[in-house]
Structure 1
Amino acid sequence: MNDMLNADTLHRTAKYFMDSGAAASHEKAMAILGRFALAVHVGADIAASAAKQVALLSLVNLGHRTLLGGVRVIGVPECTNLTTLSSAPTLRLAIETLGGICSDVADSVTPVAVIGDGEAPLNIVTGWRLTWNGWCGGVAPLRDQLRLADDENMALAPMVAAACLMTEVFSYHAGDHPMAGRRAAGLSLWRPDVDWREQSTDEPALGYLPSRLWLIGLGNLGQAFCWTLAALPYADPAEVELVLQDFDTLAASNASTSLLTFPRNVGKKKARITAAWLEAQGFKTTIEERRFGPAIKRENSEPGVALCGVDNALARSALEDADFDFVVEAGLGAGPDGFRGISVHTFPGSRTARSIWSNVAVAAVSVAHMPAYEELAKSGMDECGLAILASRTVGVPFVGLLAATLAISELLRRLHGGATFELISTSSNTLDDVTTIAAEVTTPYSFGHLAART
């Protein structure tokens, strides 16, 4: 098996256990993930709630990529799929299409998640409730008996709850955070720097949505942007104009981190697979398959707002050269100690993109001494192959989705007169500690919008 392992076949979450020394091979790292599982209990109320279905489908899509022991959904009624996150006509079929398993029973050793009126068995090892209210979403241990309104006002709030749940479940299984399963964790998209359990009195109903966007990079973050946008209540997605820019081809490793990527997509262009998914949900797309950099110039007729989700410093430093009116750039941390990190920058700001990214030189932490890499060397992998493999970052899809909700909420807050930031920085493991820097100058959002469906 080792002679088949390379940067394209590597499971990016399994790499966490290779780089930390917890697994002596990729196979053993995959075996660890194979023991990670989740049982999700839903109630009959999910049949009439788009928000609860968004939470569930997001959880299934995130979970099946990381919890290789399976995501089993208990209590799913026969009902219509009310979301635009899947083209499947029924909720059961949407769950199965996204990699979940519909079931009537769950074992007593698998961690449990509860959505809405779902009822968890009494003899569980550990369990959480997903809950949300307005622009706020999160999870809490079942014993806390915390349940917010679980309303339909803001589709991204249940998505945040799903991503937070995956953060807690992963840490619980991995045993790398002592509070996993014992704490509440969540985020306010209206005020990221305040307690998510205390809804702000000035939160508005979602009335306006961005209509013209340019997405740069269509991997983990870029596909999370698309998943997030698809959940928003557009009356007619065909009125939304999206430019999708990525030159790369999907590899097997992308399926472990990217929400629109499945094994059947391997070998196909990222931009084309992403466009096909968005168009199936009714959106209008234009594909740009050039590498983003200083040579890219936006024409006046093209979308003036960019969402950037690339991990290339050269591309990031050129963001303001393309003549966009406004840019939201999201980035994720790297390495076994930093992969949960999230940062969101906006431009123009007090610092230019070039001043932030042109002189970035991050010293890579060597993992060559870890047992998994020593074993690969013994099995015949050459130094070049080892170096390429070691240079790939640890990745998980739930951190990317949290970053995407923060990035797109920056647009939504500006459309609704909310707080604006030029930096939001946090970690999915410490969402009670969010650093924000307020934007110095903001102007009304005049880059294209539509009224939300009511």
Structure 2
Amino acid sequence: MDILPQSRILKTFTDRGADTFEGAQNRLGNVRLLILVGPDTLRTAAGQACLLGAVTAAVRTYTRVAVSLEQDALLLRPAGSDCSIAGAIRSAGATIAKKGDHDCTHGISVGVAPPDDGQFWVSCYWNRWTAGLRAPWDHEPPGESWNPLAGAFAGALAVRQTFEHVLGGFRTAGRSFSVDMWNIHSGQAGGAGPEIVYLPKNLLLVGLGHLGQGFLWNLMQLPGTGDTLALQDYQRAGMENLGTGVLTRGSDLGRRKTRVALQLPELLGWQVAMLDMPFDEGMHHLRETVSVVVSGLDSVLPRQWIREAGYQYMLDIGVGHGAVDFEIGQLRVLPAGAVSSWTEADKPKNVEALRDSKAYADQKAKDQCGAYELAQASVAVPFVGLVMGALAVTQLLRLGAMEPTPALLQIELGEPEMATAGELISGPKVNIGTREINLRLRAADIR
């Protein structure tokens, strides 16, 4: 079986010396993930975002993913040509389980109590802007369900918990916690958060890898749109992107990443501009019209160039690249003229040390060039992009609401309730050009 589509996921095993590439692939292939969904939850904005986020991350991580539906429901937000939940599940690559068939090794429950079958289960929880997970013995029904970002956050974290269990980690798997997404910098859970949000109407998104696509996926869950969305990336989708890019499918191989990403926002009503180029030093295109530039890049240097370009606000999404820090994320909010908070340039990867390990020696015997490329690649998993995307969209909405935002927010997905934040920067003194969205009313209207 070709390892390339899952290669960046498999590196979470190989780069810590836990397995060979084939061994890691077999471990993931042995997972049978079942997602149970309550019928009432299925008709809510948070419930659908939770389910679809979990499915989207899971089918890229595991080969056998099934969803148990008591009945189908119409999608609240369009997703390609699909109009129903069942259609979206099948299009994503999961199957619909037969009624009463709970055969699995791992399970995620969405709005329903998990069975007591001795397998690894985790329950998703949300209430307004609070989101998190519950251990199977501590199941708690979801609360107010009009916020899709809370559902998406919980669904992606649930996949993360199953993955940690497969990876052999029991430090954080199988426990209960909650995060106040709107006030995550406060370190407290249970805040109400607003029902009315303000979305900046003109955005530039630079970088359409797993972080950029995770941000875009979450942005498209909001029941409203802005005006113009500019997408900038110079790369084409490759096999290695199939396992990590939540908008990338097999039919997208070889296509520009901008074209892969434009389909959903265009369908939902955004005017999309495509910029098939890297962000180079001295660039400042769209600076007069774009209020916020969002970056989801690996390298520090182009991020510095974006900061220097002088956009009103820069929202930067970053994560670790190795097998230990791949799920440590950072969000930076940088107003025009801000001093960089990046402390150092990119550290060179010790490719030779990796290539000497058993996992890479085995690959080198089969394909020497391929082994070198694998060693150079970063570790990446789809659920990290979705979790960070949900938090980044939340910070974007705080800017739109003229609320203070943390200059730097750091989160470790194994313990998200322990997120730390630096100093708060003042919110915009004048409106940066936003559109009002009433999450509660729009959710009710769509239903």
Same fold (TM over 0.5): yes
Q: Give 1:188's aligned amino acid.
A: D
TM-score by length of 1: 0.89
Tell me if the contact between 1:20 and 1:370 (Cα under 8 Å) persists in the aligned partners. no
Matches within 5 A, 1:368-387: 368-379=355-366, 381-382=368-369, 385-387=370-372
The RMSD of aligned alpha carbons is 2.3
Q: Give 2:49's aligned amino acid.
A: V
**Mean alpha-carbon deviation: is it higher for 322-331 or for 370-379?**
370-379
Structure 1: state its 5+ residue gaps.
none
Matches within 5 A, 1:61-210: 61-68=56-63, 70-103=64-97, 104-116=99-111, 118-152=112-146, 154-181=147-174, 183-194=175-186, 198-200=189-191, 203-210=193-200
TM-score by length of 2: 0.91
Structure 2: distance between partners of 1:79 and 1:379: 47
Q: Equivalent residue for 1:39?
A: 34
Task: Say whether 1:319 aligns with 2:306.
Answer: yes
Structure 2: distance between partners of 1:445 and 1:340: 35
SS of residue matched to 1:78: coil
- Please report how far the alpha carbon of residue 50 of structure 1 lies from its aligned counterpart in structure 2 after TM superposition: 2.4
Tell me if the contact between 1:414 and 1:444 (Cα under 8 Å) persists in the aligned partners. no
- Please report how far the alpha carbon of residue 9 of structure 1 lies from its aligned counterpart in structure 2 after TM superposition: 5.1
- Please report how far the alpha carbon of residue 82 of structure 1 lies from its aligned counterpart in structure 2 after TM superposition: 1.5
- Please report how far the alpha carbon of residue 425 of structure 1 lies from its aligned counterpart in structure 2 after TM superposition: 0.4
Structure 1: distance between partners of 2:171 and 2:194: 36
Structure 1: distance between partners of 2:362 and 2:223: 50
Q: Give 2:199's aligned amino acid.
A: L
- Please report how far the alpha carbon of residue 247 of structure 1 lies from its aligned counterpart in structure 2 after TM superposition: 0.4
SS of residue matched to 2:166: helix
**Mean alpha-carbon deviation: is it higher for 309-318 or for 342-351?**
342-351
- Please report how far the alpha carbon of residue 76 of structure 1 lies from its aligned counterpart in structure 2 after TM superposition: 4.1
- Please report how far the alpha carbon of residue 445 of structure 1 lies from its aligned counterpart in structure 2 after TM superposition: 5.6
Cα 1:351–1:50 change in 2 (3 A) is: closer
Matches within 5 A, 1:16-31: 16-24=12-20, 26-31=21-26
- Please report how far the alpha carbon of residue 47 of structure 1 lies from its aligned counterpart in structure 2 after TM superposition: 4.5
Q: Equivalent residue for 2:211?
A: 221
Q: Equivalent residue for 1:422?
A: 407
Tell me if the contact between 2:66 and 2:95 (Cα under 8 Å) persists in the aligned partners. yes
Structure 1: distance between partners of 2:336 and 2:327: 25
Q: Give 1:436's aligned amino acid.
A: A
Structure 1: distance between partners of 2:264 and 2:314: 24
CA deviations over 1:332-365 (Å, ceiling 9, x no partner): 1111111111001111389623x62664435547
- Please report how far the alpha carbon of residue 435 of structure 1 lies from its aligned counterpart in structure 2 after TM superposition: 1.3
Q: Equivalent residue for 2:445?
A: none
**Mean alpha-carbon deviation: is it higher for 366-375 or for 413-422?**
413-422
Q: Equivalent residue for 2:323?
A: 336
Tell me if the contact between 2:38 and 2:70 (Cα under 8 Å) persists in the aligned partners. yes
Structure 1: distance between partners of 2:5 and 2:143: 43
Q: Give 1:163's aligned amino acid.
A: A
Q: Equivalent residue for 1:410?
A: 395
- Please report how far the alpha carbon of residue 414 of structure 1 lies from its aligned counterpart in structure 2 after TM superposition: 2.8
SS of residue matched to 1:131: strand
Q: Equivalent residue for 1:356?
A: 342
Cα 1:141–1:439 change in 2 (3 A) is: same
CA deviations over 1:198-250 (Å, ceiling 9, x no partner): 3225x22133222111000011011111111101121xx3x521000000000
- Please report how far the alpha carbon of residue 89 of structure 1 lies from its aligned counterpart in structure 2 after TM superposition: 0.9
Cα 1:150–1:11 change in 2 (3 A) is: farther
Tell me if the contact between 1:195 and 1:432 (Cα under 8 Å) persists in the aligned partners. yes
Q: Equivalent residue for 1:435?
A: 420
Q: Give 2:319's aligned amino acid.
A: L
Tell me if the contact between 1:138 and 1:164 (Cα under 8 Å) persists in the aligned partners. yes
Cα 1:109–1:79 change in 2 (3 A) is: closer
Structure 2: distance between partners of 1:12 and 1:213: 29
Structure 2: distance between partners of 1:339 and 1:86: 30
Structure 2: state its 5+ residue gaps.
442-447
Tell me if the contact between 2:38 and 2:110 (Cα under 8 Å) persists in the aligned partners. yes
Structure 2: distance between partners of 1:296 and 1:436: 30
SS of residue matched to 2:204: strand
Structure 2: distance between partners of 1:405 and 1:328: 13
SS of residue matched to 1:176: coil
Q: Percent identity?
A: 26
SS of residue matched to 1:260: coil
Structure 2: distance between partners of 1:422 and 1:49: 33
**Mean alpha-carbon deviation: is it higher for 30-39 or for 219-228?**
30-39
Tell me if the contact between 1:160 and 1:186 (Cα under 8 Å) persists in the aligned partners. no
SS of residue matched to 2:7: coil
Cα 1:194–1:157 change in 2 (3 A) is: same
Structure 1: distance between partners of 2:315 and 2:367: 44
Cα 1:111–1:195 change in 2 (3 A) is: farther
Q: Give 1:435's aligned amino acid.
A: T
- Please report how far the alpha carbon of residue 164 of structure 1 lies from its aligned counterpart in structure 2 after TM superposition: 1.3
Q: Equivalent residue for 2:263?
A: 276
